[in-house]
Structure 1
Amino acid sequence: MLIASFPAGPLQTNCYVVAREPGAECVIIDPGMMATESVVQIVEQQDLTPVAVILTHGHIDHVFSVYDLTERFGVPAWINDADRPMLSLAFDRLGMAELTGMCRQLSGGADGLTEPADVRSLPESGTQEFAGIEFTFRHAPGHTPGCTLVEIPYAEADVPIDRIVFSGDVLFAGSIGRTDLPGGDHGTMLRTLREFVLDLPDSAAVLSGHGGQTTIGRERATNPYLQENML
């Protein structure tokens, strides 16, 4: 398995490129601000062929470069239907003047995002194959209405991990995603944590939208937001 990642843009959003091996097809996950050049570099260095862009949710720091990359590689973008409107969000609706100005500067003066020509709906739950890899999806709202946990199997010798979960901004090492942003709902987030996050096995590695990697076992034991008194 080949998983390349880097923190993109001023908000340091983790972008991932996933393939079975060098020279194979690949999937791009959460290409945020200033992500295009680094994704292209990884694709060229590893001789990869992108087949899809998968978005864990629609916040601008996770989707900013999706139009550029889908146009460049001629591939569809996949997102939960509830977050699809964010793909054409006007920057003045972000509610933060500094972020609005930053987005306009990075986009060359545009007033908002442009939805890709080919946008497809992620399943609410279930599996689908991309790039020869079986992806499992779990609709996990709370941070946004359309947040999705993206899971793939993982098997490497001498590594006590059997799957990888790209958690977006649902779960971080030692924390969880905010629910005070537009579209967030704290009660819904608590249900997601109880029913979907804690249902994952301890052997699942977590690659989140910001910060370092962790495991479900570690978070179950140490993350204050996953303790019974918080849920």
Structure 2
Amino acid sequence: MFVRSIVADAFATNCYLLAPAEGEECLIVDPGIGVEGRVQELLAEHGLRPAAVLLTHGHLDHVYAVTPVCAGTTAVSPYIHTEDRYRLTDPLSTMSPALVVALEQQFGRRATWSEPERVVEVQDAQVLELAGLRVEVTHAPGHTEGSVLFSTAAVPEGIPSDELDRTVLSGDVLFAGSIGRTDLPGGDPDAMRRSLRDVVLPLADSSLVLPGHGPATTMARERAGNPYLADL
């Protein structure tokens, strides 16, 4: 599988492009603040054609560029869990005024939002056949009500398939050595604990984890050393 990543200037959010190979259709995952130009550069450089945008959840730092990314292509829609669909109406309204001002000062322009024209809602255990990839959706609330994991039975090129045989896009559910916070609106510590116990821990050790922030990891590494999983 062909994979490229972009780190957004704000919040260091990871945006991923996935495709079966260069020159084919691709999926864009979590286009955060200010990444649209670099997304277009990668598409052109590698001959990729977007088929869909996948959103692990609806926080602004993961969705801010979704509308321009979709508008810059043909017939591309964002996919988001039903429980987080409301966040795409106006994610700026869920942020504190002070944080919005801080973002505007950082980028030197007023923060604006326009809702995507067509949004596709996904559900737990749904299987998406997109861009030549089979992507499984797993609902994992706790960071937000509609947080999900997207997983596919393929790994990035160059990674030995006898060591890792699956890629999991974990959003802000699971990080290398940590987990997503639960103190923001829509967060729920009890739901996060259940998601970690019932969704994350059952993942095979052979899973490559591509998180919403920070470096890639593996499920074997997290099972052995992530303190938030140790007591589950």
Match of 2:175 in 1: 172
CA contact (8 A) 2:135 2:152 kept: yes
CA contact (8 A) 1:92 1:100 kept: no
Query: How far apart, CA to CA, are the structure 1 residues paired with 2:145 and 2:10?
Result: 24
CA contact (8 A) 1:27 1:131 kept: yes
2:24 corresponds to 1:24 = yes
Query: How far apart, CA to CA, are the structure 2 residues paired with 1:187 and 1:92?
Result: 25
Shift of 1:210: 0.3
Query: How far apart, CA to CA, are the structure 2 residues paired with 1:100 and 1:199?
Result: 41
Amino acid at match of 2:193: L
CA contact (8 A) 2:17 2:28 kept: yes
CA contact (8 A) 2:59 2:91 kept: no
CA contact (8 A) 1:91 1:100 kept: no
Query: How far apart, CA to CA, are the structure 1 residues paired with 2:228 and 2:2?
Result: 31
Amino acid at match of 2:77: P
Match of 1:128 in 2: 128
Match of 2:89 in 1: 88
Match of 1:2 in 2: 2
Match of 2:199 in 1: 196
Question: How well do the aligned residues superpose, as a CA RMSD in angstroms?
Answer: 1.8
Match of 2:222 in 1: 219
Shift of 1:158: 3.2
Query: How far apart, CA to CA, are the structure 2 residues paired with 1:213 and 1:105?
Result: 27
Shift of 1:48: 0.7
Amino acid at match of 1:89: D
TM-score by length of 2: 0.93
Q: Secondary structure at the match of 1:83?
A: helix
Amino acid at match of 2:205: D
CA contact (8 A) 1:19 1:131 kept: yes
Amino acid at match of 2:89: S
Amino acid at match of 1:142: G
Question: 1:1-231 to 2 correspondence within 5 Å?
Answer: 1-74=1-74, 75-89=76-90, 91-103=92-104, 108-110=109-111, 112-154=112-154, 158-159=160-161, 160-228=163-231, 231=232
Shift of 1:98: 3.3
Query: How far apart, CA to CA, are the structure 2 residues paired with 1:148 and 1:171?
Result: 11
TM-score by length of 1: 0.93
Query: How far apart, CA to CA, are the structure 2 residues paired with 1:186 and 1:154?
Result: 31
Amino acid at match of 1:71: A
Shift of 1:91: 2.7
Q: Secondary structure at the match of 2:142?
A: coil
Q: Deviations over 1:90-109 (max 9, x none)?
A: 53541151334415875953
Query: How far apart, CA to CA, are the structure 2 residues paired with 1:168 and 1:101?
Result: 23
The runs of 5 or more residues in structure 1 that have no matched partner are none
Query: How far apart, CA to CA, are the structure 1 residues paired with 2:137 and 2:171?
Result: 12
- Cα distance, 1:90–1:126 mapped onto 2, change above 3 Å: closer
- Cα distance, 1:103–1:147 mapped onto 2, change above 3 Å: farther
CA contact (8 A) 2:82 2:123 kept: no
**Equivalences, count:** 228
Q: Secondary structure at the match of 1:125?
A: coil
Q: Secondary structure at the match of 1:62?
A: helix
The runs of 5 or more residues in structure 2 that have no matched partner are none
Amino acid at match of 1:226: L
Runs of 4+ residues over 3 Å off in structure 1: 98-101, 103-108, 155-159
